[in-house]
Amino acid sequence: MSDLIGSYKNGLYIHLEKENVPSNLMEMMQGYTGGIAGILQIAGQSLGVLFLSLSGHKFYLVAVINAVSFLISGLVWFFYENPKRGVSKNISLNLESKNIESKITRKKLLDKPSFNFMQEFGRIYSSNSFVLLGYTLIINFAGSALETVAFIFLLDHQILTGVNYTTAIFIIGTIQIAGSILGSFIGPHILKNISYFYTIFYAMISSTIFLVTFFIFKLGWLSIFLLFTSQILNTKTSMLSYSILINNIDQKIMGEFFAKLSIYQMVPILAGVSIIPSISAFSMKIAIALMLIVSVIGLLFSIYLLHESSNTKKSL
């Protein structure tokens, strides 16, 4: 139920972002939001462990604290958006004006035009929609299972010299989070001159080399560095993708478009999490080969998209 309501909340946020965030600041906003979310995730996990230790491992108490924090957050948002009546006539007039504008906006949004998802997807990113969507599908498929397969692989291969299994898992998890946080904060600044399709291309190169160095050549610390690099680039790619989407989509079809896009993103993730680790239980070599094949296909797709983007710029 909580996840269902959370999904509805995310759909509401995108309208607020499109209305209130300037297009040139959209990527930066996503970066700061993602970076802060990553820091809070680390802090939340640490606090959760602390509460469990102090309470004598009473999980229900942690669940109650979690629920209360959500309630407080909701109340703060509610009262911030809905100040008490009678405090100021100006506030009341502004609220009435906003309510009228909101009703008009809702009416306009209800009269949304029909659209073709694939055509709209291609128009927004100015690319071949089938290739771009295919890239998204296969990357989500392979990427969703990467961490699980890597952890299973480490059970039989000590590729990080001088590090035991538990520490290796901690290092990989920390590197992924650190890469995401760093990518969120530096992406809109240091990497601001790298275009969307170049970012996809660099991220795919880094990810593919990581798979080869980690699973084939077992170059532990080099592969960890490549994992960190690819995480930064993947975070930059996600921010750019979201920014382009928000800035170019028609608000009338935004909700329906994002709903369909989320399905295309979630289905391969669920499939990857289920299929690839299951294959690795029978044959790790087949699972690794499958991820490498998918990664190479993703790299070829990224080259095609980059080439198509360059030709489009030349024609303009």
Q: What is the pLDDT of residue 46?
A: 62
Cα separations in angstroms, 110 against 10, 137, 147, 255: 19, 30, 42, 11
Q: What is the pLDDT of residue 86?
A: 41
Domains and CATH numbers, the chain: 117-315 (1.20.1250.20)
- Per the CB < 8 A criterion, the answer to whether 31 and 184 are in contact is yes
- What is the rounded distance in angstroms from the CA atom of residue 219 to the CA atom of residue 237? 26
Q: What is the pLDDT of residue 226?
A: 93
- What is the rounded distance in angstroms from the CA atom of residue 22 to the CA atom of residue 35? 19
Buried b (16+ CB within 10 A) or exposed e, 202-221: bbbbbbbbbbebbbeeeebe
What is the token pair recorded at 143?
């990427």
DSSP for residue 213:
I
Q: What is the pLDDT of residue 277?
A: 92
Q: Average pLDDT by consecutive 10-residue portion of the chain (316 residues)?
A: 58 66 69 68 66 73 78 75 46 48 51 74 87 89 89 87 85 86 79 84 93 92 92 87 85 81 88 92 92 94 89 64
